[in-house]
Amino acid sequence: MSHPIVDAPKQNPSRHPAERSVNGHQVDTVEPETGKEIGQGGPLRRGLSLVLSSIGPTLVLIGFAAVFYYGHHNDWRIPKFAALTGSVETIADDWCEEHAVPESICVECDPTLMPKGPDYGWCEVHGVHNCVLDHPDVAQMKETPSILPSDLERAARALAVAPRKENNSACKIYQTRIQFASIESVKQAGVDVELIERAPIVEAITGSGEIVYDPTKQASLASRVPGSVWLVTKGVGDLVTKGEVLAVVDAAQVGDLKTNLLRALAEENLQRQNVSRLNQARSAIAGSRILDAEAALSKAQADVLSAEQSLRNLGLPIETESLRGLSERQVLDNLRLLGIPDEIRAQLNSKTITSNLIPIVSPIEGFVTQRHVAPGEVVDPTRILFEVANTSQMWLTLNVPLENMDQLAVGQPIRFQADGSRYEVEGKLDWISTAADSQTRMVQVRAMLPNVDGKLRSETFGTGQIILREEPDAIVIPNGSSHWEGCCQVVFVRDKHYFDSPDSFKVFHVRSVRLGATNGEFTEVISGVLPGEVIAAAGSDVLRAQLLKNNLGAGCDCVAE
């Protein structure tokens, strides 16, 4: 079969690029030289290609977003297959994540379940919120307690005696309640409770100290003149009375002074007789002779006084009036053993005894604490022979921090316990130094300690307490049961309806407190709780952690981080 010959369309000689057509429609035009497509279909194709290429990544991002959304709202738990197929019913979520209890019984989310009591706000006097001393109905007790006047007085004393850590009046933490789902959950959390009780509390300033002899009741004895030790009668530890002889010294100077007195007495007696004779013959003699005799008598009397005073300066008890009218032999016998007691005289041979003896006498009653002499030794006034101390009263010196000076006053009681001793002694503060130590910044104070039984020893170190106040019936809580929350000291008080029934809300109330002194395992509460209330003690950190969690992001800037 022959085919008709169809003439090919004529090409426009002015168009250089080649053209392609499909079913008679022009698709694109390609330039032979560059291979680029031109014509009406090029931009549309590129846009469609761009849209188709972005669909895949977009679907991937949407898938990731869906997974993140589901995981965030389902705690990233993979659902069971039965839940995905819808073969089981969906269980309602009844759990309050914020307060860690079932939401149906959460008293914080639904306050109508357990209405809060009256809010009395800030107490300016005692520095706490909802002060139980002023408003006892706040106390978590079945019956409203009565506030004793002694508790108000005790709180006033505690606040007056020393500065106390202050709570922030703007804090609202006290309005918070910590709830548990059940009693079992409280036990599992390790929370233990304690009943608030009364106990004696002593508040004191403590300092290291030393016991020494009372310098006003201590004596250092030496010979007042040079000589040699003739006799020693006392040793270390011996009890001596005031005026008792400890030793006897042979000193030539003493003999010379006694001789001078003897001569002065003889001269005085002679001049007195001369004046008496001249006065009897006054009419027959010149008046000048009488005046000369009286002047000589006065000089003799002065010599007697001088010799007497010299002996008195050595501690020898001389009475010249008793010597006047005696013979020289009698005067010599009285002066020879002047100041020597009878018990020592009885040991001496009166025929060979010297007149140079001078006794070493104790000026106080006490014990011989040191002895530095033996018979025959040569001594002089610069050498200490004996130390005598009255130990019935001792001095206690304590070193106290400078910042406690405002709390000290003369007359405050002091208790001291020596290192290694089981006994405690008491005294009175009687002196406070006017200067602080330049190195330690400590201030020295002093107290008198009675030592009637003689148990205290000089140069004994130990610890002393200056008693600021004693409270025999203070309100106390166990140490560690209170917590500082950044601006408030709080405890967790168990609700009074805690055990009313198994369905009772297991709630602890946050209560701000003001603390006082700490003794041993207990801390005084100035205000904030009352005896008979129950607080969380051991394990109360669990409640504190929940309190911090509840207040995160709540805008409470007073909670510690």
Q: Could you read off the pLDDT of 165-224 as tens digits, one per residue?
A: 999 999 999 999 999 999 999 999 999 999 999 999 999 999 999 999 999 999 999 999
Q: How far apart are CA 269 and CA 2, in angstroms?
A: 201
Length of the chain: 561
pLDDT classification of 558: cutoffs 50, 70, 90: low
Give the pLDDT of residue 293. Answer: 83
Give the pLDDT of residue 407. Answer: 93
pLDDT mean over 56-65? 77
Give the pLDDT of residue 182. Answer: 92
Give the pLDDT of residue 129. Answer: 96
Q: How far apart are CA 362 and CA 353, in angstroms?
A: 23
28 three-state secondary structure: strand
User: 47-56, 78-87, 391-400, 411-420: lowest mean pLDDT where?
Assistant: 78-87
Name beta bridge partners: 527.
Answer: 514
- Helix H segments across 98-200? 149-161, 183-188
Give the pLDDT of residue 355. Answer: 87
496 three-state secondary structure: coil
Q: What is the pLDDT of residues 94-108, one digit of tens each?
A: 888 888 899 899 998
Residues 6+ apart with CB under 8 A from 444: 397, 398, 399, 400, 433, 437
pLDDT classification of 73: cutoffs 50, 70, 90: low
pLDDT classification of 288: cutoffs 50, 70, 90: confident
Three-class HEC string of 523-535: EEEEECCCCCCEE
Q: How far apart are CA 516 and CA 525, in angstroms?
A: 6
Give the pLDDT of residue 521. Answer: 93
The secondary structure of 229-280 as a DSSP string is EEEE---TT-EE-TT-EEEEEE-HHHHHHHHHHHHHHHHHHHHHHHHHHHHH
Q: How far apart are CA 444 and CA 366, in angstroms?
A: 27
Q: What is the pLDDT of residues 332-364, one digit of tens each?
A: 878 888 888 888 888 777 677 888 999 999 999
Query: Which DSSP category does 556 fall into?
Result: -
pLDDT of 377 over the 90 cut: yes
- Helical (H) or strand (E) element with 312: helix 287-313
Spatial CA neighbour of 516 closest among 200, 305, 241: 200
Neighbour count for residue 442 (Cβ, 10 Å): 17
Query: Which DSSP category does 545 fall into?
Result: H
Give the pLDDT of residue 283. Answer: 67
pLDDT classification of 79: cutoffs 50, 70, 90: low
Give the pLDDT of residue 78. Answer: 60
> Phi/psi at 85 (nearest 5 deg)?
-85, -10
Three-class HEC string of 317-359: CCCHHHCCCCCHHHHHHHHHCCCCCHHHHCCCCCCCCCCCEEE
Neighbour count for residue 396 (Cβ, 10 Å): 23
pLDDT classification of 287: cutoffs 50, 70, 90: confident
pLDDT of 77 over the 80 cut: no
Give the pLDDT of residue 19. Answer: 46
More confident residue, 289 or 76: 289
More confident residue, 265 or 431: 431
Q: How far apart are CA 122 and CA 167, in angstroms?
A: 10
Neighbour count for residue 240 (Cβ, 10 Å): 21
Q: What angle do CA 239, 241, 246 make, to 5 degrees?
A: 75
Give the pLDDT of residue 92. Answer: 54
More confident residue, 255 or 35: 255
pLDDT classification of 14: cutoffs 50, 70, 90: very low
pLDDT classification of 323: cutoffs 50, 70, 90: confident
pLDDT mean over 264-271? 87
pLDDT classification of 374: cutoffs 50, 70, 90: very high
Give the pLDDT of residue 434. Answer: 93
Q: What is the pLDDT of residues 464-500, one digit of tens each?
A: 999 999 999 999 999 999 999 888 999 999 999 999 9
Give the pLDDT of residue 426. Answer: 92
Q: Considering only CA atoms, give the Rg of the chain.
A: 54
- What average pLDDT does the chain have? 85
Over pLDDT 90: what percentage of the chain?
A: 56
More confident residue, 545 or 39: 545
Q: What is the pLDDT of residues 118-173, one digit of tens each?
A: 999 999 999 999 999 999 999 999 999 999 999 999 999 999 999 999 999 999 99
pLDDT of 86 over the 70 cut: no
Q: In what order do the strands lie in the sheet with 366-371?
A: 218-221, 386-389, 366-371, 239-240
**Per mean pLDDT, which of 453-457, 478-482, 550-554 is the most reliable?**
478-482
